[in-house]
Structure 1
């Protein structure tokens, strides 16, 4: 498939990195430094030029393009890119936007702007925050098979109850599969005797109840259902969307916004949220308003340094869990080390959602882990699959290393896979896969 990515910033670069192994990728950007950088770092054709110009798109091969992804930092530019592409060819177009009103307009007008699929960064980030908040201790959470199956990633801290355990000792939960251990730059496919080490990221797949029970065994943090107090610091669009989504879950969060007019506007838009007008960095205010008793604090102001500061303040006064926005993707790991329990990078979230959508055209659903080091796929088994009619133990011999069958659903029932389990045509399987073997695995499955 020929893919044209317009915009070589963090979003575009991540998308290109995710697609260049399997597709013919062309990246367009106006910045010569970005063009030179991506030329040497990725297996793509990089072109310096204006992606809204027909001439540039023709140079990029628009007539033979299957997919155009507009991922610059300017909403209007991305929309124009899609419209220009549709004017001269018939590719599938994807636009990244930050303004939610553009997304709503597109949703209500089929084919509006010449965009076939639109991703809203602020909304996508808020959805990610709420999803992570729903499972204590989790750094990533995804649902599969109509929510029958959950995938979650947990970081193993030195004081974790499973640090030093074998997988057999840690696996005390029904309907749960230990899919992988992400250890430094390695992906370890766990066996019963595999020892879980501090610093590992553990990926589990199973029923929602088993995944929640496993999460509960790792941390005393409350789940979203048990959270009595959720505080959002910052009335940015991400903060607003996060509060709105918490309201949709039946919760009543509090939101702190410094600007009086913005606070009044949010109070009108969020009937289930208590909006407080104050400076979120005022520790006396935080204590006076009992923010220290909160179960979850979301830091969503403008500026990474402020979000780190707010998270540190929240932890200092006794907040159990903090989730913070980190605009600079390279700082996520650092911020999680020094003060934020979970850092969410909007650009990376957007890149993953766009890449996920391109992969979903071949699979039922897909989630990416650790910046696309691995994927979890949902695939419907057909008669040509190596799994059809075979025991998992036997079928694995025909699959590359780095593949784990995490769950099976059949007639809307969950089946926990074991070596003797026979997979039937029509089953949905949820599979963990090392990115290096994705193409080979999907072809066989």
Structure 2
């Protein structure tokens, strides 16, 4: 799978090495850095002489069971969250709460919603999570939700201002991780300046969920990187794939797109330009916005 995080720790040994060297070490975990977002610029991992910088957003491909091991190498500690508070009653909060109800690490999950009717409807769908109806910024409501003791605060209301205000309140507790859903790019800079805050672009989570059904290729997963930043596709070659037997170079992908890695059985092949594809191989492909239709033709159903 693919996950990403913002590199904040500059004291880790990896900061001294090139990306090629880092990936040679990550190969021991069947993992690789496949792309970096640096401000508004995307850097593919197959470019030469790349070094990490503070606040880079790093995209890593690795088996799910290796995620925590890889994050630790980058100085990112992973302590399981036990207490979660979600603000806003909608499809996103329902999905999150339903997942958290089945997470053995979660002791409590509370959802706060201003609208009483919405709160009641959500409460009827959930089994364990508590849903609290009332003014989100009320001291009493926040106390009832256990906000001060929360490990993570997730603000997914329809209003950016409310989401940012909630994250600001959460940032007063240095141990609370804040997550803000943002609709408008105007608020991105403000959200970035909030300590321990993770920004989620609503267009990305909406688009990523449906991309695999829209793209005319055999895509397992599709990740939208943000407005005009392109997409990452996970493509598995079927038994009837016309791409089997070709090398990556022979695919003749457009210049601004690239196969970042190939997973073949238990093997993880990073920078696989000369690799010859086989049936059931999984390709991790960066697709530039301008190349979507061209890439679809290469991996057409």
Q: TM-score, normalised by structure 1?
A: 0.54
From the superposition, tell whether residues 301 and 396 of structure 1 become closer, same or farther in structure 2 (CA, over 3 Å): same
Match of 1:233 among 84, 87, 97: 87
Matched, 1:189 2:44: yes
Matched, 1:215 2:66: no
Residue ranges of structure 1 left out of the alignment (5+ in a row): 1-149
Contact 2:164/2:191 (<8 A) preserved: no
Match of 2:2 among 151, 176, 183: 151
Counterpart residue number, 1:198: 54
Deviation of the 1:187 alpha carbon: 2.8
CA distance in 2, matches of 1:294, 1:168: 39
Secondary structure class of the residue paired with 1:417: strand
Contact 2:237/2:280 (<8 A) preserved: yes
Secondary structure class of the residue paired with 2:224: strand
From the superposition, tell whether residues 188 and 398 of structure 1 become closer, same or farther in structure 2 (CA, over 3 Å): same
Contact 2:204/2:226 (<8 A) preserved: no
Contact 2:7/2:56 (<8 A) preserved: yes
Contact 1:232/1:297 (<8 A) preserved: yes
Secondary structure class of the residue paired with 2:269: coil
Matched, 1:247 2:101: yes
CA distance in 2, matches of 1:157, 1:350: 27
Counterpart residue number, 1:337: 192
CA distance in 1, matches of 2:20, 2:84: 36
From the superposition, tell whether residues 371 and 153 of structure 1 become closer, same or farther in structure 2 (CA, over 3 Å): farther
Matched, 1:320 2:176: yes
CA distance in 1, matches of 2:21, 2:139: 43
Deviation of the 1:426 alpha carbon: 4.3
From the superposition, tell whether residues 346 and 437 of structure 1 become closer, same or farther in structure 2 (CA, over 3 Å): closer
CA distance in 2, matches of 1:318, 1:163: 25
CA distance in 2, matches of 1:438, 1:237: 29
Match of 1:432 among 279, 286, 292: 286
Contact 1:221/1:321 (<8 A) preserved: no
Deviation of the 1:281 alpha carbon: 1.6
User: What does residue range 353-432 of structure 1 map to in structure 2 within 5 Å?
Assistant: 353-359=209-215, 361-365=216-220, 366-377=222-233, 378-380=235-237, 384-385=242-243, 388=245, 390=247, 395=249, 398-401=252-255, 402-409=257-264, 413-418=265-270, 419=272, 421-432=275-286
Match of 1:178 among 29, 33, 36: 33
Deviation of the 1:416 alpha carbon: 0.1
Deviation of the 1:178 alpha carbon: 1.7
Encode CA deviations 1:117-171: one digit per residue, 9 max, x unaligned: xxxxxxxxxxxxxxxxxxxxxxxxxxxxxxxxx0123223364745454214543
Match of 2:19 among 167, 177, 188: 167
CA RMSD of aligned residues (A): 3.4
CA distance in 2, matches of 1:274, 1:229: 12
Contact 1:206/1:407 (<8 A) preserved: no
> Which structure has the greater CA radius of gyration?
1
From the superposition, tell whether residues 425 and 275 of structure 1 become closer, same or farther in structure 2 (CA, over 3 Å): closer
CA distance in 1, matches of 2:86, 2:20: 39
The count of aligned residue pairs is 284
The structure with the largest helix share of the pair is: 1
Contact 2:6/2:57 (<8 A) preserved: yes
CA distance in 2, matches of 1:349, 1:181: 19
From the superposition, tell whether residues 437 and 270 of structure 1 become closer, same or farther in structure 2 (CA, over 3 Å): closer
CA distance in 2, matches of 1:442, 1:266: 39
Deviation of the 1:263 alpha carbon: 4.4
Encode CA deviations 1:213-240: one digit per residue, 9 max, x unaligned: 2234442243xxx221111123345434
CA distance in 2, matches of 1:398, 1:312: 48
CA distance in 1, matches of 2:9, 2:138: 33
Residue ranges of structure 2 left out of the alignment (5+ in a row): none
